[in-house]
Amino acid sequence: MRLAQQCDEIDQLNAELKGITLLKSIEVDILEDGSLDLPDSALAQLDMVVGAVHSNFNLSRAKQTERILRAMQHPYFTLLAHPTGRLIQRRAPYDVDMLRIIREAKNRGCFLELNAHPERLDLLDTYCRMAKEEGVLISINSDAHSIYDFSNLRFGIGQARRGWLEKHDVLNTRSLKELRGLISRTM
């Protein structure tokens, strides 16, 4: 499997690199029934598993919420990516009970993404504030598909600030040791 090969390559790089550590992770699809699209045997090799809805956006609020909640219960689930699925001026957010999602993240010990891509800016500032109030950490991610996309982080930081997030509310402001401790609790 290609994923196993990539994990081996990351392990080799980590043995050679000084001052930087690559984490093994993947974004998996959350299927309509709430299952993840890769087997546990593959997910067990990873440091982080990022789950995301990429299809069936028109489910009812109850079904979409249950789908995500079921995925979050998966033992390898770490982080919910682009939690509302919106694409600004192209696709409205799907209907989901975000307070239930946030509370499940707290109960489960997993995290939510603030996708900083300017076409997404998905997590709304109001949901960032809600997550902060519930004690759920947010990961600000660039959604980089090339090195040029890393500059998107500034948009995510602006969105986080509008949601009153501070450094201690953001998962990826942590040291590697702290980060590993936090993400290991989700596995």
pLDDT confidence bin for 185, thresholds 50/70/90: confident
Measured distance CA(115)–CA(123) in Å, rounded: 7
Q: Which own/partner pairs from 171-180 qualify as long-range (CB within 8 Å, at least 24 positions apart)?
A: 171/79, 171/111, 171/137, 171/138, 171/139, 172/139, 172/140, 172/141, 176/21, 180/47
Average pLDDT over residues 14-32: 96
Q: pLDDT tens, 92-114? A: 999 999 999 999 999 999 999 99
Q: pLDDT tens, 109-139? A: 999 999 999 999 999 999 999 999 999 999 9
Measured distance CA(184)–CA(118) in Å, rounded: 30
> Average pLDDT of the chain?
95
Q: pLDDT tens, 34-83? A: 999 999 999 999 999 999 999 999 999 999 999 999 999 999 999 999 99
pLDDT value at residue 186: 77
Q: pLDDT tens, 174-184? A: 999 999 999 98
pLDDT value at residue 144: 87
